[in-house]
Amino acid sequence: MSLKEKIVFITGASSGIGAATALAFASQGVRLLLAARRAGKLAQVASLALERGAATVHSIDLDVRDHRAVQNAIDTLPPEWAQIDVLVNNAGLSRGLDKLYMGKIEDWDEMIDTNIKGLLYVTRAVVPGMVVRGRGHVVNLGSTAGEFTYPGGAVYCASKAAERAINDGLRQDLLGTPVRVTSVDPGMVETDFSLVRFRGDAERAAKVYKGVTPLTPEDVADAILWAVSRPAHVNIARVSLTSVDQANSLLFHRKP
């Protein structure tokens, strides 16, 4: 299915999987609607996207945790950007690796507000328009962590289990419409994920990937693009992907 000139809205687009997804779609000649909190980094992604072939780019400084800001951002889009064809709910993060009974409340709030409530806010703002127009595709970023909980990751894993339920529930609620819904669930991906989790501790973050060949953001972006570009009658419900060094969120092969 040709994506040329389609409007693709990506949240958390300033780095990692979001940025790679923007560039992957740019190569298809789409119109990119990019949102993130870090305006400077988002501007860099927008510039690269234009170089890669995006028809045009419109950027939004947005924190998905603020439901009023999310709704206002969608409601006030210029008319030429209002008819979103593809939504990639990518914004998300993890904080800390504490035992649950020692966890920091502020870390829990940030993960739940971003990974669950932010996902809901953006979906609620965008999908009604897709239903009215009779076209659209929602891609939600899940994780293998949504299937298997790992020590120290209970709240993050719960947030991704919630994504899985929301994704499947949305697909059920859209039955009878042409709007498609896909969850893309990667395992370990080498991005700023661990750096964010450990609040900038680069040494600790580097240990996460030691001895393992992880996925790259481009690997995940490729899966997203593949799912979206299937024929209009085909809905890819879920894509689960890991590197060959990972079996699930608990089992890794680490080379010496």
pLDDT at 123: 98
Would you say 180 and 211 are in contact if contact means Cβ atoms under 8 Å apart? no
pLDDT tens sequence for the chain (256 residues): 899 999 999 999 999 999 999 999 999 999 999 999 999 999 999 999 999 999 999 999 999 999 999 999 999 999 999 999 999 999 999 999 999 999 999 999 999 999 999 999 999 999 999 999 999 999 999 999 999 999 999 999 999 999 999 999 999 999 999 999 999 999 999 999 999 999 999 999 999 999 999 999 999 999 999 999 999 999 999 999 999 999 999 999 999 9
pLDDT at 12: 97
pLDDT at 1: 86
Two structure tokens written together for 167:
């994704």
pTM, full prediction: 0.96
pLDDT at 164: 98
d(CA 213, CA 192): 16
pLDDT at 247: 96
pLDDT for 3-25, tens place per residue? 999 999 999 999 999 999 999 99
pLDDT at 162: 98
Tokens 């127009």 found at: 133
Two structure tokens written together for 169:
């529930």
pLDDT at 203: 95
d(CA 244, CA 236): 22
d(CA 46, CA 190): 22
Residue 88, strand partner residues: 10, 139
Three-class SS state of 25: helix
Three-class SS state of 145: helix
Would you say 239 and 184 are in contact if contact means Cβ atoms under 8 Å apart? yes
d(CA 102, CA 83): 45
- H helices of the chain, in order, are 16-26, 39-52, 67-75, 105-111, 119-133, 154-173, 193-197, 202-208, 217-228
Return the amino acid letter for 53: G
Q: Which residues of 33-52 are buried (b: 16+ CB within 10 A; e: fewer)?
A: bbbbeeeeebeebbeebeeb
Would you say 117 and 89 are in contact if contact means Cβ atoms under 8 Å apart? no
Residue 185, strand partner residues: 240
pLDDT at 169: 98
d(CA 55, CA 200): 35
Tokens 């789409």 found at: 30
Q: Which residues are catalytic?
A: 156
7-241 folds as: Rossmann fold (3.40.50)
Q: Which residues of 7-16 are buried (b: 16+ CB within 10 A; e: fewer)?
A: bbbbbbbbbb
